[in-house]
Amino acid sequence: MPNPLSQELRLQGLVKQELELKRRRRLEFHPEVEARYEQDEGPSRRRWLVRGGVVGLMIWNLFVFNDWFMRNDQFGAVLSWRLLMTAYGACILTAIWRNWVSPRAREWILAGALPMVMLCACVILRLTSNEMRMYDPFVFSLAFLVINISLPLRFRQALWMSGITLPLTALSVGTDERLPEQARIFAIGLMAGTTLFTLQACYRIERSSRYSYLLRLRETLAFRAAERRADGFARLSQTDPLTGLPNRRAFDLAMPSRWQEAALTRRWLALVLIDVDNFKQYNDLYGHPAGDACLKRVGEAMREHLPPQAFLGRIGGEEFAVLVQADSAAQCQRVAEGLRQAVEAMALPHGATERGVVTISLGLALRSPSVDGRADSFMASADAALYDAKHRGRNRCAQASNYGDLEAPAAARAGS
Ligand SMILES: Nc1nc2c(ncn2[C@@H]2O[C@H](COP(=O)(O)OP(=O)(O)OP(=O)(O)O)[C@@H](O)[C@H]2O)c(=O)[nH]1
């Protein structure tokens, strides 16, 4: 299955092509663009058609007053034809409204309304004996106006249905001997002219709505692509390329939000600054590439140890930082000590440390944040604690304030 990104890029290319090739003159897009057109515009077109159809049916039925005065003798029969057409229209509109039919079928079914309306109108005209009936055919043009323009039909369907309906209606009116000849000629001429003009308008409406859709789609796709690029840049600018962990910039952004989160949930927030012990010597002993690999492994070991919601970033050369929430100070201390153990447990050989393996020193600062409190001294506290851990002999976690030193377990120190 193609991924959404490549699909969008392909669509972007197709839209560009459509705009360049002026294919829009054919009132049909490339199938993929056409599918997207229906997806984006279909629901609003359905709503519009249903609304327009309901208004059209209301107008159609308002003529019942006219029937009462003009065709009183045949009122029952005329009313039946009106109701038949209304029922037919209601079925079509329900099918469109409930989306029971495909987009293509929707357009053709709707277009079928034009010959149906004209059929009913011609039958009603035949049923009428009143001398005022000669004015009836002049109203026929109204159907072309409403259906071809007001709805409007799509141009292809409008062309076909008008092409079928106009000659048949003209035949019916033209052969109606009870109509004066001049009225017949004039009514047919009016219908033909109306059909022509409404078809032209129908074409222009569809063409310009398709063209403006293409422009909108082009903008939407370009905007999405720009957003994706911006997201990518933001991710890159906040990621350390060596370890794939968040970098200092990401840490600076995370700090205030983590602070607020902890304040709102009334939990402890721990900041742990971590420094790889004697890392300069590691580089000197094993080379810079090995140093890089070591930093990656240290990052991975700590990430695995931390809960998923904890922040872990590489904020400097061989310096990492952790932000983690906990329910108690003791829990924070356990997390920090766990990090130290996790790195030591990797047992990466290091000829210049006491234990003979890569170890880390940690400075832990704890806060119980308040919403309007400030994190200003947080970093300085953790930094001071880290300094303390280094001075006390490395491979340990020291804690800022008066919580005391979190010693490495006795067993670990015994082996050093
Ligand atoms: N391989 C590698 N080395 C780095 C990188 N960034 C910083 N370093 C090295 O990390 C070393 C840090 O050395 P120092 O700040 O003296 O600290 P240290 O040797 O770890 O000593 P202590 O921190 O006191 O235990 C320097 O030699 C840097 O060149 C990196 O991305 N890759």
Atom of ligand 1 at shortest range from CA of 361? 25
The ipTM value here is 0.97
* Tokens matching residue 73: 């003798």
Ligand 1 pocket, CB under 6 A: 242, 275-281, 283, 288, 291-292, 295, 317-318, 390, 394
Give the pLDDT of residue 372.
65
Atom of ligand 1 at shortest range from CA of 289? 1
Distance (angstroms) between ligand 1 centre and the Cα of 278 equals: 7
* Tokens matching residue 158: 């409008």
Atom of ligand 1 at shortest range from CA of 394? 25
Calpha distance 252→281 (Å, rounded) = 29
Nearest protein CA to atom 15 of ligand 1, as residue: 280
Distance (angstroms) between ligand 1 centre and the Cα of 413 equals: 24
Distance (angstroms) between ligand 1 centre and the Cα of 276 equals: 8
Nearest protein CA to atom 12 of ligand 1, as residue: 280
Domain 248-415, what fold? Alpha-Beta Plaits (3.30.70)
Give the pairing type, strands 319-326 and 360-367: unpaired
Atom of ligand 1 at shortest range from CA of 276? 20
Give the pLDDT of residue 415.
37
Instruction: Please state the domain extents for the chain.
Output: 4-224, 248-415
Distance (angstroms) between ligand 1 centre and the Cα of 360 equals: 12
Distance (angstroms) between ligand 1 centre and the Cα of 296 equals: 14
Q: Which of 262, 379, 265 is nearest to 324 (CA)?
A: 262
Atom of ligand 1 at shortest range from CA of 275? 23
Give the pLDDT of residue 249.
96
Give the pLDDT of residue 200.
96
CA distances from 349 to 15, 219, 343, 346, 392 (A): 58, 56, 11, 9, 22
Q: How many helices (H) and strands (E) does the chain have?
A: 14, 6
Give the pLDDT of residue 354.
87
Give the pLDDT of residue 409.
35
Best of 247, 283, 318 to mutate for ligand 1, by most ligand atoms within 8 A of CB? 318
Atom of ligand 1 at shortest range from CA of 281? 19
Q: Give the three-class secondary structure for 382.
A: helix
Give the pLDDT of residue 5.
76
Q: Is 246 exposed, middle or buried (0-12, 13-18, 19+ CB in 10 A)?
A: buried
Best of 243, 248, 280, 294 to mutate for ligand 1, by most ligand atoms within 8 A of CB? 280
Calpha distance 244→296 (Å, rounded) = 8
For the stretch 163-197, pLDDT in tens is 999 999 999 999 999 999 999 999 999 999 999 99
Nearest protein CA to atom 14 of ligand 1, as residue: 280
Calpha distance 292→294 (Å, rounded) = 5
Q: Which of 223, 254, 226 is nearest to 238 (CA)?
A: 254
Atom of ligand 1 at shortest range from CA of 290? 1
Give the pLDDT of residue 362.
97
For the stretch 352-399, pLDDT in tens is 998 899 999 999 999 888 766 677 788 999 999 999 999 999 999 999
Write out residues in the chain with pLDDT < 70, as ranges. 1-2, 22-25, 371-373, 401-416
Distance (angstroms) between ligand 1 centre and the Cα of 320 equals: 12
Distance (angstroms) between ligand 1 centre and the Cα of 318 equals: 5
DSSP state of 351: T
pTM of the model: 0.66
DSSP state of 408: P
Distance (angstroms) between ligand 1 centre and the Cα of 239 equals: 19
Give the pLDDT of residue 27.
87
Q: Are the C-beta atoms of 362 and 272 separated by less than 8 Å? A: yes
Give the pairing type, strands 405-406 and 397-399: antiparallel
Residues in a beta bridge with 268: 326
Nearest protein CA to atom 6 of ligand 1, as residue: 317
